[in-house]
Amino acid sequence: MGKAVWKPGTMLNPVPAVLVTSRHGGKDNVLTVSWTGTICTEPPLLYISIRPERHSYRMIKASKEFVVNVPTADMAHMVDFCGVTSGADVDKFKAMNFSKRKATKVKAPIIAECPLAIECRVEEILDLGSHHMFIASVVAVLAEESLIDKRNRFKLEEARLLCYIHGHYCSTTKPVGKFGFSIRKGKGTAARRKRRPDAKGSSLEEPGAPRPSPASAGGGRKKHRGQEKGPRRSGKNEG
Ligand SMILES: Cc1cc2nc3c(=O)[nH]c(=O)nc-3n(C[C@H](O)[C@H](O)[C@H](O)COP(=O)(O)O)c2cc1C
């Protein structure tokens, strides 16, 4: 298969598209961020990269706190709006009719419509060039109760989370495998896989998924670090 050689650029896809909320000077704001990801399991750390010219940049730099609100595909319109308008000009919470709720550990509000809210405290800011990277500790994870099953798993496949692929908002609904399935042995596994490659009911698992509260984290086989049970989490890039 031939490959065209392109100049270096940001072609890694798909990426998330999340709503990052902040509070500073008595004002709340929200912006859309795709340059975000998990960078460490223990301690749980994530990053967001933001251009210094953004209104949110100044707010987060000053307050040292933010919340990553993970939206559903149904919220694509709101995600786009928060990514093309500035909090310097418009109250995006009002404009999008977001239900603002208190977070548990930080002052920035959460957006109740999002099934996951990840509360973060900034540890370090790296000036990388066009973007500055905020490395942050995850201090709390709020998961939508109606999406948690009896075994305390976050039903990712039902959450219809949003992702962003080269200028298009897409939904993540079709599981195509399960963590470790490539090496799992078992009666009929291969045949089953052949018959139902995208079988309903499988859910994506990943090393490094956030853990639930200690009270609900119990049971089952021995787990390795980074494989604990917990709520399963699962561009043209504007970054
Ligand atoms: C899908 C999408 C992803 C984006 N990702 C980022 C990002 O990772 N970093 C960034 O600085 N801006 C990003 N933006 C642009 C900001 O969201 C946008 O400039 C926003 O208006 C800034 O709002 P604020 O001025 O209220 O902070 C993105 C926009 C969209 C639509």
Q: Is residue 112 part of a domain?
A: yes
Q: Which residue type is seen at 72?
A: T
Q: Is residue 218 part of a domain?
A: no
Of all protein residues, the one whose alpha carbon is nearest to atom 23 of ligand 1 is 86
The ligand 1 site (C-beta within 6 Å) comprises 17, 29, 31-35, 49-51, 54-56, 80, 83-88, 164, 238-239
Number of domains in the chain: 1
Distance CA 6, CA 151 (A): 47
Distance CA 108, CA 40 (A): 23
Confidence of residue 41 (pLDDT cuts 50, 70, 90): very high
Q: Is residue 198 part of a domain?
A: no
Q: Is residue 1 part of a domain?
A: no
Confidence of residue 40 (pLDDT cuts 50, 70, 90): very high
Distance 142 CA to ligand 1 centre (A): 23
Answer for the pair 206, 234: CB distance below 8 angstroms, yes or no.
Answer: yes
Domain containing residue 122: CATH number = 2.30.110.10
Confidence of residue 172 (pLDDT cuts 50, 70, 90): confident
pLDDT digits (tens, 9 = 90+) for 64-77: 999 999 999 999 99
Q: Is residue 7 part of a domain?
A: no
pLDDT above 70: residue 160: yes
Q: Is residue 158 part of a domain?
A: yes
Distance 199 CA to ligand 1 centre (A): 36
**Which pLDDT belongs to residue 226?**
37
Distance CA 112, CA 83 (A): 19
Distance 169 CA to ligand 1 centre (A): 14
pLDDT digits (tens, 9 = 90+) for 176-199: 888 899 998 875 555 555 555 444
Distance 32 CA to ligand 1 centre (A): 5
Alpha carbon distance, N-terminus to C-terminus of the chain? 30
Q: Is residue 219 part of a domain?
A: no
**Which pLDDT belongs to residue 174?**
81
Of all protein residues, the one whose alpha carbon is nearest to atom 17 of ligand 1 is 83
Distance 7 CA to ligand 1 centre (A): 24
Q: Is residue 65 part of a domain?
A: yes
Q: Which domain holds residue 169?
A: 15-173
Q: Average of pLDDT values for 207-229?
A: 40
pLDDT above 60: residue 224: no
Q: Which ligand 1 atom is the nearest neighbour of the CA of 57?
A: 27
Distance CA 131, CA 219 (A): 43
